[in-house]
Chain A
Amino acid sequence: DSGVTQTPKHLITATGQRVTLRCSPRSGDLSVYWYQQSLDQGLQFLIQYYNGEERAKGNILERFSAQQFPDLHSELNLSSLELGDSALYFCASRRQGKSGYTFGSGTRLTVV
């Protein structure tokens, strides 16, 4: 157990639907990062939050949004899902001033 918890582990949904992925960072880590891993695109950075504030944005589609709550857990919302959104979605956390990013086990999203 890395200390970063992601739920659910697997998700199967239909095109056009909306899903929410959840991430709880390691205790004490203020930064949360979301990455998408697909077979053809590798690991793509989506978005970063630090202590509730958005800090960096990567290749995140407008259909996707995220937030970090006061208890530091984060949610990634994916809407109007398309087949191409099928991927592994990883969350990572990091402690300020400390090297090393710790990853969760990921959520495997399948859009049918």
Chain B
Amino acid sequence: AQRVTQPEKLLSVFKGAPVELKCNYSYSGSPELFWYVQYSRQRLQLLLRHISRESIKGFTADLNKGETSFHLKKPFAQEEDSAMYYCALSTDRGSTLGRLYFGRGTQLTVWP
């Protein structure tokens, strides 16, 4: 069965420090992995998807199939990065039967 695990419910760092939000998944096929960000329980915003290999707001994430991980990293955290971050997995590769499986989320707080 598909499963997404975010082991840290809360993560605090100081401004300018590196940050890594962990995400592990279990899926026997080829997954699509995403990171979504949610500010103050507003709309979920797509931050990254592994297929595009983009860097958004200084965040990057690499899919490691061997370790089944998709950790989110930023070298220098900013106060405005404080938010809830969700890792998500999609198994459908764009078919009509897809859905997102979410982790429980990590609340990131960046202190000044």
Contacts and interface: CB of A to CB of B under 8 A. Distances in A.
A100 B49 contact: yes
Contacts of A100: 34, 46, 49
A106 B39 CA distance: 13
Given A2-B43, A100-B34, A100-B46, A43 B102 contact: yes
Given A33-B99, A98-B94, A101-B100, A43 B86 contact: yes
B96 A105 contact: no
Interface of B: 32, 34, 36, 41-46, 49, 51-52, 86, 90, 94-105
Nearest to A101: B100
Contact of B96 (A90, A96, A99, A104): A96
A55 B45 CA distance: 24
Given A98-B94, A99-B51, A90 B44 contact: yes
Contacts of B51: 99
B100 A92 contact: yes
Contacts of A58: 99
A104 B45 CA distance: 9
A10 to B, nearest CB: 12
